[in-house]
């Protein structure tokens, strides 16, 4: 019985939350063309893993939501497809970044399934 096998993939779909304090706030200008901001992603203790080229407008929307709701009010989500890149470092193709609003935590005096007062 084989204990190891290899499966060849064209890409690997990635979706990972980012710490709000790790997100650069000055990667796109506040106004004017947003361009295509680029992030280098590193694994702690390992080093660079890939680069992600983002849509500047979506990056700006994420920053706006982060500013409005605060770090506790959103989850920053980075997603894309990990593929081989030029120069040996993989690329997160079709990379997108967004600030997903967090639902407010239930107050401690409510029980699960209880309908809040109108």
Query: What is the pLDDT, as a whole number, of residue 110?
Result: 55
Mean per-residue pLDDT, 95-114: 75
Cβ contact 99:74 at 8 Å: yes
pLDDT at residue 118 greater than cutoff 80: no
Q: Looking at per-residue confidence, does 116 or 23 come out higher?
A: 23
Residue 87: band (very low, low, confident or very high) from pLDDT cuts 50, 70, 90: confident
Q: What percent of the chain has a predicted confidence (pLDDT) above 70?
A: 88
Whether this prediction's pTM lies above 0.85 is answered by no
- Read off the pLDDT of each residue in 39-50 and give the average, rounded to a whole number: 92
Alpha-carbon torsion, ordered 56, 62, 65, 70, to 10 deg: -130
Indicate if the pLDDT at residue 55 is higher than 80. Answer: yes
Say yes or no to pLDDT of 94 above 80: yes
Got the DSSP string for the chain? Answer: --S------S-EEEEEEE-GGGS-TTSS-SSS-----EEEEEETTTEEEEEEE--HHHHHHHHHHHHHH-TTTEEEEEEEEEE--GGG--EEEEEEEEEEEPPPPPPTTSPTTPPPP-
Mean pLDDT of 79-105: 91
């Amino acid at each position: 019985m084989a204990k190891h096998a290899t499966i060849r993939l064209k890409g690997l779909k990635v979706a990972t939350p980012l710490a709000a304090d790790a997100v650069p706030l000055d990667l796109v200008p506040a106004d004017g063309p947003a361009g295509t901001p680029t992030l280098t992603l590193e694994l702690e203790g390992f080093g660079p893993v890939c680069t992600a080229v983002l849509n500047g407008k979506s990056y700006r929307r994420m920053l706006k939501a982060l500013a409005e709701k605060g770090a506790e009010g959103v989850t920053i989500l980075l997603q894309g497809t990990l593929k081989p890149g030029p120069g040996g470092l993989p690329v997160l193709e079709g990379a997108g970044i967004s600030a997903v609003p967090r639902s407010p935590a239930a107050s401690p005096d409510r029980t699960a399934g209880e309908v809040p007062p109108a």
